Amino acid sequence: MQVHFITMVLNNDTYQIDGIDVLSLTEKYGTPLYVYSANKIASQYERLTDAFTATNMKVRYACKALTNLNILKILKNCGSGLDTVSIQEVKIGLKAGFDPQEIIFTPNGISIAEINEAATLGVVINIDNISILEQFGNQHGGNIPICIRINPHILAGGNYQISTGHIDSKFGISIHQLRHVERVVETTGLNVTGLHMHTGSEILDIDVFLRGVNILFGVAEKFPNLEFLDLGSGFKVPIAPDADSTDLEALGTQLSEKFKDFCKEYGKELELWFEPGKYLVSEAGTFLAKVNVVKHTTATVFAGIDSGFNHLIRPMFYNAYQHIVNASNPNGVERIYTVSGYICETDNFAWDRKISEIKEGDILAIHNAGAYGFEMSSNYNSRPRPPEVLIINGEDHLIRKREELDDNLRNQILLDL
Ligand SMILES: *Cc1c(COP(=O)(O)O)cnc(C)c1O
């Protein structure tokens, strides 16, 4: 797989992001620190749209991956819409300037009240269970067009926890309940203008998308007012140099052909939507932390950094691989480390990992930290959350301040005890 754009490069013995030495960034902003490359986000967007020039394809960035307003604005400027999963994300999207009709609301397990609030804001409503479908139909009939989330029962993606299409999944309305869906739609007069599926994350095999869309084509025959089919996301990004990723160009060619044939049969030019989160922002993000302690135990050598799963939970939560380089000594002799955090629980970022020799005070750069990094961070151990810096055309901009203890205490109400 061809790598189209490399954000993080070794240049004259220094690690750089878009031409800026990462050590100068940690000197300026301190550690730990999230750094994002605007250029990388834009180039990922372009690569996706280039792969689908043959279809009327629309991107709906799944903003739960990273919701900083500046990131949303970059994607808006690229031409993207949004995929949102909470009313708060809808409001952030509107604040970033997105047109409500370019925002799809794809929540799971929320109340009809929250769905109605989103409908009032004018966004596209995607319904993922029959109970809400009935309630929405009873209240609004055909006045507010809706999309329906189908669970095609395709087991896809990196691991069970991030796969959403399987039989045990809580997501979507089962393909086997289609007859029931039709009954509700006919009885209440619902106007179904979109069909949706999202089978999981980190899907390498493009056949999964092709099988999924075939299932949606079958469902589409039952709904004459469709305007779009939304295939969700799940594109896999390379998690290390030379790692595999979804072959978007092959997917674009094969899917576009199928889609064109389908539209001819359906009798209408539909839009094809995708909702990438990880694909657009994962590689654009790097998490920088400083090594506090190098600790030799009987079993391993720990490199203990000034962060933990409170700031980047993916390795502990999903067993996710995060590539790590020693930005202070990129060409050193490789040794084997366990990179651990400072949280008072087992808190590792990497196990048995070869990294250039680490000294206390070195800066480690953790790759693929743009998606579900800052966004899933917390104040566990009463630690403040890190700042976020955005690099635009070779210039760094602070886009979120480092939290302080007061930010953590602000909403506590002190009783007179
Ligand atoms: C999380 C999510 C996405 C994005 O998934 P990625 O693997 O980050 O691309 C897209 N659609 C829906 C409905 C989601 O919940």
What is the per-residue pLDDT across 358-397, written as a single tens digit (0 to 9) for each? 999 999 999 999 999 999 999 999 999 999 999 999 999 9
Is residue 169 over pLDDT 90?
A: no
Quote the pLDDT of residue 241: 84
CATH 3.20.20.10 domain residues, the chain: 39-277
Tens-digit pLDDT profile for residues 212-237: 899 999 999 999 999 999 999 989 89
Lookup: tokens for 177: 């309940």
More confident residue, 179 or 163: 179
Is residue 1 over pLDDT 60?
A: no
Is residue 292 over pLDDT 70?
A: yes
**Mean pLDDT score of the chain, rounded to an integer?**
94
Mutation probe of ligand 1 site: the residue of 163, 164, 231, 275 with most atoms within 8 A of C-beta: 275
- Among the atoms of ligand 1, which is closest to the Cα of residue 278? 8
- The CATH architecture assigned to 39-277 reads Alpha-Beta Barrel (3.20)
Q: How far apart are CA 324 and CA 286, in angstroms?
A: 10
Instruction: Check pocket membership of 277 for ligand 1, CB cut-off 6 A.
Output: yes
CATH 2.40.37.10 domain residues, the chain: 2-30+284-409
Top-tier CATH class for 2-30+284-409: mainly beta
Ligand 1 centroid distance, CA of 13 (Å) = 37
Of all protein residues, the one whose alpha carbon is nearest to atom 2 of ligand 1 is 62
Q: How many angstroms separate the first and last alpha carbons of the chain?
A: 63
Instruction: Check pocket membership of 373 for ligand 1, CB cut-off 6 A.
Output: no
Q: Which pLDDT band holds residue 159 (cuts at 50, 70, 90)?
A: low
Quote the pLDDT of residue 266: 97
Q: How far apart are CA 170 and CA 396, in angstroms?
A: 41
Residue 220 neighbours by CB distance under 10 Å:
21
Secondary structure of the chain as H, E, C letters: CCCCCCCEEEECCEEEECCEEHHHHHHHHCCCEEEEEHHHHHHHHHHHHHHCCCCCEEEEEEHHHCCCHHHHHHHHHHCCEEEECCHHHHHHHHHCCCCHHHEEECCCCCCHHHHHHHHHCCCEEEECCHHHHHHHHHHHCCCCCEEEEEECCCCCCCCHHHECCCCCCCCCEEHHHHHHHHHHHHHHCCCEEEEECCCECCECCHHHHHHHHHHHHHHHCCCCCCCEEECCCCECCCCCCCCCCCCHHHHHHHHHHHHHHHHHHHCCCCEEEECCCHHHHCCCEEEEEEEEEEEECCCCEEEEECCCCCCCCHHHHHCCCCCEEECCCCCCCEEEEEEECCCCCCCEEEEEEEEECCCCCCEEEECCCCCCCHHHCCCHHHCCCCCEEEEECCEEEEEECCCCHHHHHCCCCCCCC
Tens-digit pLDDT profile for residues 47-106: 999 999 989 999 999 999 999 999 999 999 999 999 999 999 999 999 999 999 999 999
Share of the chain above pLDDT 90, in %: 86
Lowest-pLDDT range of 144-153, 179-188, 202-211: 202-211
Active site residues: 344
Instruction: Check pocket membership of 201 for ligand 1, CB cut-off 6 A.
Output: yes
Contact 251, 209 (CB under 8 A): yes
Is residue 5 over pLDDT 50?
A: no
Q: Which pLDDT band holds residue 3 (cuts at 50, 70, 90)?
A: very low
Instruction: Check pocket membership of 215 for ligand 1, CB cut-off 6 A.
Output: no
